[in-house]
Structure 1
Amino acid sequence: MRMMLDTRDIVQRYLYQFGVWEPSLTAWLTGVLRPGDVFVDVGANIGYFSLLAARIVGHTGSVVAIECSPAAGSELRGNLAANQVGNVRQVTSAVAASECVLTFYEPKKGIHSVTTSVPAGDPVFQAAAKPLSALLTAAELGAARVIKVDIEGGEYDALSGLVPVLDRTRPDLAIVVEVNEAMLARQGRTVAATTGLLTDLGFHPYRLVNSYRPSSYLVPGRPPQRVREPVTGQADLVFSRIDADTL
């Protein structure tokens, strides 16, 4: 894929250096998605996972790339155009449990990959927010093979807006969620409460190995492993209705 990159941002720097971001998630998505599938990318940033999925699902499938940041959204739009993809629908919106307006912050000024609605530093923009159930069409929801939610602390509210319509999804739907114990705590939320939104509905949690050490990008990604202990700190989780040791 072709992407314009700013190496001051860790996501874009690693893409420039290694040609990949989050190797374990990349490898898993590559193995799971098939032509004709729908991939929903909540927190699409500059579009790495959206472009990856667009190639795999092909012209019979589609990608919904949701990004509220004006700066990241502009870069996403440029990267989609550079790759001439016609199966990605870009949605400029924040995601929440209900319709509202959210204020966003950049803890590291100018670094769009960590934009968050959790107060941290000076506010940089406001965005209208809707629940996922309102942002996806009935066809997209019903055909979604993977929904990825990585919105820097807003995952509880995003999942809350998805839960009411999960009964309309495919039996093999997988939901990828990044959880951060510290950011959730600042909102009065917990990891257990966040994961419970899905496990209470019969989804099983699996953990993706994810390290930001450069050396970890030199080895193949590993498949998601079943979570048996309470999750602490920061973790990338895959939720599936499949009950197994490894996805």
Structure 2
Amino acid sequence: MLKEVTVDVLAGMFHKLPIKSGLTQICFNPAMNRLLRKGPPVALARLRDGGHIEVSMSDYHGRILYFFGTNDPKVEETARFLLQPSDAFLDIGANYSTIGLAASHVVGPTGSVHLFEPQRLLSDRVQRAIDSGNYRNVTLHRVGLMDHDDKLSLHSPSYHSGMATFADHDEVSCFDIVEECEVKDIKTYAAPLVSGRTFGAKLDIEGAEPKVMPWLVDQPNLKFLIFEAAHNQSTLFETIRSSGLILYGLERGVLRVRLMRIDVLSQISRFHDLVAVRIGNNSSPPKSASPRELSSFMQSEP
């Protein structure tokens, strides 16, 4: 009981910290591992907007979410500032969906948020969070998005739900969970969801990005795309460059979120998260900006 109280107190304290990066070191270290070793494997995490979602404490994203109320403060802040009321937002590879759920408050009742998460356990938890939190503008799609309709094997390690992937790369052979999941062709499935309105997207599908990104960046009503480039860096860089979007990297600042413009491929390796934005015709893309500052340079209409 004392351990559970201590863990709850720590979570309450960590929720109030204004840090944007370094969450892994706080949540995963010998002292924290010892504290949680005999604790409950599943806990109810409080989101930053007051909603709740069930998480696995041994899961990388679950533990961070429990202690901080979000999976990634810098990505959440970037999405919030680049979105506007009435926009649509696609959270592709949503995991616990904290980015999409936070975005729902920005786009408002006239906007929409679409979460794409095929992992069964996670999608069950996300749907309960949507229902209990009364997120009326949020829809969960229990499918993956690819470049064709199919049923594919989704591989993931039990300790990190965020590494789940349909792609075949070197790490997959070590993953111990396999699920057969339905995938939909993004061209036909997502198009009606964003038709007639500007939209932003977060893409986190662990190596399968080349199957999905080309359609996204080809849409004139796409305002921004947040993604990782742990795999296929050259392909993703060329896809963004040929689209006319401007690429930025999210610096890992502890207390602030800063975006740095990426002009050459070699700069990508400095960053874990990237954001491609559509700059207005009369604007010159800044070399460096906060998400709020960058939003003033963006094209607001298709």
Q: Which of the five TM-score ranges fits, normalised by the shorter chain?
A: 0.7 to 0.9
Distance in structure 2 (CA, Å) of the matches to 1:96 and 1:55:
28
Residues 25 and 221 of structure 1, relative CA distance in 2, 3 Å threshold: farther
C-alpha contact (below 8 Å) 1:64/1:89 kept by paired residues: yes
Q: How does 1:1-247 map to 2 (within 5 A)?
A: 1=49, 2=51, 3-106=53-156, 108-109=157-158, 111-117=160-166, 118=168, 119-120=172-173, 121-122=175-176, 124-138=178-192, 140-163=194-217, 165-167=218-220, 169-170=221-222, 173-180=223-230, 184=231, 190-210=232-252, 219-229=254-264, 230=266, 231-232=268-269, 235-242=272-279, 243-245=285-287, 246=289, 247=294
How many angstroms does 1:123 deviate by? Answer: 5.1
* TM score, norm. by length of structure 2: 0.69
In the alignment, structure 1 segments of 5+ residues that lack a partner are 185-189, 211-215
In the alignment, structure 2 segments of 5+ residues that lack a partner are 1-48, 280-284, 295-302
Q: Per-residue displacement from partner, 1:133-164 (whole Å, max 9, x unpaired)?
A: 2222435244243111011111111113435x
Q: In structure 2, the residue corresponding to 1:225 is in which secondary structure?
A: strand
Distance in structure 1 (CA, Å) of the matches to 2:161 and 2:249:
25
* TM score, norm. by length of structure 1: 0.83
Report which structure shows greater RCO (CA 8 Å, sep ≥6).
1
C-alpha contact (below 8 Å) 1:103/1:123 kept by paired residues: no
Distance in structure 1 (CA, Å) of the matches to 2:197 and 2:83:
12
Distance in structure 1 (CA, Å) of the matches to 2:62 and 2:177:
23
C-alpha contact (below 8 Å) 1:97/1:157 kept by paired residues: yes
Residues 157 and 98 of structure 1, relative CA distance in 2, 3 Å threshold: same
Distance in structure 1 (CA, Å) of the matches to 2:214 and 2:224:
16
How many angstroms does 1:63 deviate by? Answer: 0.3
How many angstroms does 1:53 deviate by? Answer: 0.8
How many angstroms does 1:100 deviate by? Answer: 2.6
Residues 9 and 209 of structure 1, relative CA distance in 2, 3 Å threshold: farther
C-alpha contact (below 8 Å) 1:98/1:161 kept by paired residues: no
Over aligned residues, Cα RMSD in angstroms? 2.1
Distance in structure 2 (CA, Å) of the matches to 1:93 and 1:139:
14
How many angstroms does 1:191 deviate by? Answer: 0.6
Give percent identity, aligned residues only.
23
C-alpha contact (below 8 Å) 2:158/2:177 kept by paired residues: no
Distance in structure 2 (CA, Å) of the matches to 1:111 and 1:123:
10
Distance in structure 2 (CA, Å) of the matches to 1:96 and 1:204:
24
Tell me the amino acid that sits aligned with residue 161 of structure 2: H
C-alpha contact (below 8 Å) 2:104/2:138 kept by paired residues: yes
Distance in structure 2 (CA, Å) of the matches to 1:234 and 1:202:
21
